[in-house]
Each structure stands twice: as C-alpha cells, then as structure tokens.
C-alpha cells in the first residue's frame, strides 16, 4: 500500500510504501485489541523548490526504513463517539521499531483518556513519550496544535521549530488536556441536540524533547474559546470556534487567534 502525506507545518511531503498485518481481538463491545506488524519505506522531499524549509528538516530528506510491532488497545463505553453524554474512553498505543540494521529504531507509548461527567461536561487528556534509539525522523515524532487538538494554535504549530522558524520539528514528549462545556442551542429539540451544540473549552498542554520541561510554567500553553460542535455522519466531528491563546512561546509557537475550523475523527 502506498500513502502520500502533505506536511506544510514542517515543509515536506512524505511517500510511505508499507506492508501491514493486523490481528484484531474484541472480547466484547467495549474492549478492542489490535496487534500490528508493519514494514514501511518512507521518502521525504520538499513540498516545492520555493518552500521555505529549515535545515533540520532538509537533512532528513531521502529514504528511511521502519519495521515495527505495535499493540493498540481501546476501551470505550460512551453512548456516542462524537458528542457523548456519558461514558469513558481509554486508548493506548505501544510501538517498538528496530528490526533491521541501520534502520529506524525507537520505543513509543501514547495514551488518551476521555471522561464524560454529564451531558454538559467533558474532560480529555492525551500524552505520549518516544525513546529514540537510532535514526528517528520527523515522521515518527509527536506534534501539537490545531483545531481539534490544542485549539488557538496553528496545525502542529506548537513546540520546537528550526533555526529560521519555518519548520515544526516535532518532539519526543508531549501532553495536552481539555475541559469542554456543552449546551443545547436555544429552542432546539432533543434530536437536534445530538447533532449540533454550543461549545466552550479550556485547552492546555506542553511539548518538548526533555521530560522535565513538560511541566515548567514557561513551557505551558493555555487557550480558551467557544463555538459550535456538529456531528458529521456517525463518527466525524466538526468544530467552528473562536479561540484565544493566552500562554504560549513567543519565539516559536504559531498562533491562530479568532475563528478556527476543524473536522476529524479524533479530538481532545
């Protein structure tokens, strides 16, 4: 299978050719285990000759090979994946790469938690850590920021950037959290409430290559805002928010003050 990925936040394109085998075990509706074995050949290039790209990304251009084993676990007893009124979500990903000589090698862990305290209040947390053993590239790192992630910031615009501040470099460690408050539209009925609601939020998080930096006040990001949340189909979520970042890194972070639009299957 071949996938192409457009990454304007870092200034590169990625072509990924991979072979993947997945074993799914679902003992009941709430629990799902997925075991994956994957070999992928990645090729990084500039988006175009005129694109400004930092040298830290340019030096990663070319080919890399990754062979990995991973375990994905999901516990989900929510009544709805997009705008739930009750229930809890727990997702973990554990991945080890490094089965070939001079290839990419790392150990990676990621966890996501969501708990719905009522039909109006929701708490979400997400974080990850990556241990680099050999030849890790920008394709393997964590990124933070965006309309369904850390709102009030550009897509993956938070955290380490290159010397010229053109390219987001990603990092080995991150965490983010959000407190959501939902409210039905005035004069709406119960069926419409399942599709469209008013929404207010507070978002926070941090991203760094050093664990001790994640919890320093100087490295903390904070934003808040309000808007509309809409269900698209059964699984996609659309948000139209007015977002205001209030704590950020003035040297590197890419802010998105004002109207922000996002749609996706996963959110914090």
Taking only the tens place, the pLDDT of each residue in 133-147 is: 999 999 999 999 999
Residue 21: the pLDDT is 96
- What φ, ψ does residue 28 adopt, rounded to 5°? -160, -175
- Pairwise CA distance, residues 266 & 147, whole Å: 11
Residue 139: the pLDDT is 94
Q: What does the pLDDT average to over 203-220?
A: 92
Query: pLDDT above 90 covers what percent of the chain?
Result: 76
Residue among 101, 127, 102 nearest 113 (CA)? 127
Residue with tokens 């400004």: 52
List pLDDT tens digits, range 223-266: 999 999 999 888 899 999 999 999 998 888 999 999 999 999 99
| Exposed / middle / buried, residue 191 (Cβ in 10 Å: 0-12, 13-18, 19+) | exposed
pLDDT at 190 over 70: no
Mean pLDDT, rounded, of the chain: 93
The CATH number of whichever domain residue 186 belongs to comes to: 2.40.160.50
Which residue range(s) make up the domain with 16? 2-264
Number of folded domains that form the chain? 1
Contact between 74 and 102 under an 8 Å Cβ cutoff? The reply is no
Residue 186: the pLDDT is 81
List pLDDT tens digits, range 125-134: 999 999 999 9
pTM for this predicted structure: 0.92
């Amino acid at each position: 299978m071949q996938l192409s990925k457009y990454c304007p936040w870092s200034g590169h394109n990625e072509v990924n050719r991979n072979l993947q085998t997945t074993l799914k075990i679902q003992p009941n509706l709430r629990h799902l285990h997925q075991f994956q074995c994957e070999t992928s050949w990645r090729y990084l290039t500039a988006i175009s000759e005129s694109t400004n790209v930092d040298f830290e990304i340019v030096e990663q251009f070319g080919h890399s090979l990754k062979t990995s084993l991973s375990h994905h676990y999901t516990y989900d007893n929510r009544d709805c994946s997009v705008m739930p009124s009750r229930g809890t979500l727990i997702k973990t990903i554990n991945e080890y790469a490094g089965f070939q000589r001079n290839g990419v090698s790392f150990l990676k862990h990621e966890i996501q938690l969501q708990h719905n305290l009522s039909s109006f209040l929701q708490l979400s947390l997400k974080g990850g850590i990556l241990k680099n053993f050999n030849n890790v590239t920008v394709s393997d790192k964590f990124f933070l920021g965006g309309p369904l992630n850390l709102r009030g910031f550009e897509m993956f615009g938070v955290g380490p950037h290159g010397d010229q501040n053109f390219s987001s470099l990603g990092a080995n460690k991150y965490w983010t959290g959000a407190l959501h408050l939902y409210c039905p539209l005035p004069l709406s009925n119960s069926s419409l409430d399942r599709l469209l609601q008013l929404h207010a939020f507070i978002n926070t998080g941090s991203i760094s290559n050093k664990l001790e930096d994640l919890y320093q006040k100087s490295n903390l990001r904070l934003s808040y805002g309000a808007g509309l949340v809409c269900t698209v189909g059964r699984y996609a979520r659309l948000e139209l928010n007015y977002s205001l970042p209030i704590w950020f890194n003035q040297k590197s972070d890419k802010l998105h003050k004002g109207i922000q639009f996002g749609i996706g299957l996963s959110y914090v």
